[in-house]
């Protein structure tokens, strides 16, 4: 595990217990705002990011900190992830679910150095499931090393995100997959999608939007578990916003087949 694993895990659990879970199904109307059309933010997102920022600054004072909500106010902050040692924070991934009082949602953190993802943490506060991976060190769920595996059933399972695309585009992508895959609904929560791919629940996830806080922790986790993650053109994931789309899969073979179907 990464040398900072114990400290980061303890911080995430503490913030979940003191900030996030007390607000779950306990939000007043004025505590839920629309920061952009269709994108919600809650008081818990902002308070959790503040607490995580303070804690990570103490763990590694030399690293810059890039939080989703801070980037909403200053989008230029994300560029620092490509040029420095940086913590990337998604204080509540799946805010729409959280605001509606429904799981799944999670807390996600990645450590990046010169654009390379070194470690990731994905915590489900409801299930108390901590996923962690360190580059070259394997992937773990609650301390037990895991290896990505394909789901059971006559056909592999695929989920195609609706985010950042038109209804027509989404329908066309679903059509391309329906003969080879059993189509599953995708929860709007990367903190849930990546563990599903590693734990034999799902086989392929197709994303159009590739924001660094949504994907960096999951990319290193699934990659270290032996799964597949790449942009639609087959290039490795980077969080600089230059790559289009993302395919994540439980096996490299399914990842490559999904890429073929996407453009076939």
Distances from the Cα of 119 to the Cα of 6, 115, 132, 252, angstroms: 13, 12, 7, 21
How open is the CA angle 67-189-58, to the nearest 5 degrees? 30
Residues 194, 197, 199, 201: is their CA dihedral positive or negative?
positive
* DSSP letter assigned to residue 170: H
Question: 36 pairs with which residues across the strands?
Answer: 39
Residue with the two structure tokens 């056909």: 155
> Taking the CB of residue 262, how many other CB atoms lie within 10 A of it?
17
Structure tokens at 101: 């009082």
Region for residue 70 given its phi and psi (left: phi exceeds 0; alpha: psi -120 to 50; beta: otherwise): alpha
**Which residue bears the tokens 């900072």?**
4
Tokens, residue 259: 């890429």
* Annotated binding-site members for Mg(2+): 68, 90, 92-93, 214
- Give the C-alpha separation, 224 to 218, whole Å: 10
CA atoms within 13 A on the CB side of 4: 22
| Polymer length of the chain | 264
Indicate the annotated binding residues.
Answer: 68, 90, 92-93, 214
């Amino acid at each position: 595990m990464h040398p900072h694993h114990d400290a980061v895990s303890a911080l995430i659990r503490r913030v979940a217990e003191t900030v996030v879970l007390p607000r779950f199904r306990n939000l007043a109307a004025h505590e839920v705002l629309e920061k952009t059309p269709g994108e919600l933010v809650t008081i818990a997102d902002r308070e959790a990011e503040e607490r995580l920022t303070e804690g990570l600054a103490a763990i590694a004072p030399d690293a810059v900190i890039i939080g989703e909500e801070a980037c909403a106010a200053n989008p230029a902050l994300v560029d620092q992830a490509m040029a420095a040692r940086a913590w990337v924070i998604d204080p509540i991934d799946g805010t729409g679910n959280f605001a509606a009082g429904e799981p799944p949602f999670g807390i996600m953190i990645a450590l990046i150095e010169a654009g390379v993802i070194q470690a990731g943490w994905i915590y489900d506060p409801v299930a108390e499931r901590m996923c962690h991976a360190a580059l070259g060190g394997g992937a773990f769920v609650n301390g037990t090393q895991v290896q990505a595996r394909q789901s059971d059933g006559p056909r592999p399972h695929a989920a195609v995100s609706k985010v950042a695309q038109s209804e027509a585009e989404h329908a066309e992508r679903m059509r391309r997959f329906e003969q080879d895959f059993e189509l599953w609904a995708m929860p709007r929560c990367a903190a849930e999608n990546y563990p599903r791919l590693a734990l034999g629940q799902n086989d392929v996830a197709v994303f159009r939007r590739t924001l660094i806080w949504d994907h960096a922790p999951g990319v290193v986790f699934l990659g270290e578990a032996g799964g597949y993650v790449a942009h639609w053109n087959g290039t490795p994931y980077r969080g600089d916003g230059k790559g289009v789309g993302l395919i994540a899969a439980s096996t490299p073979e399914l990842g490559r087949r999904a890429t073929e179907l996407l453009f076939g």
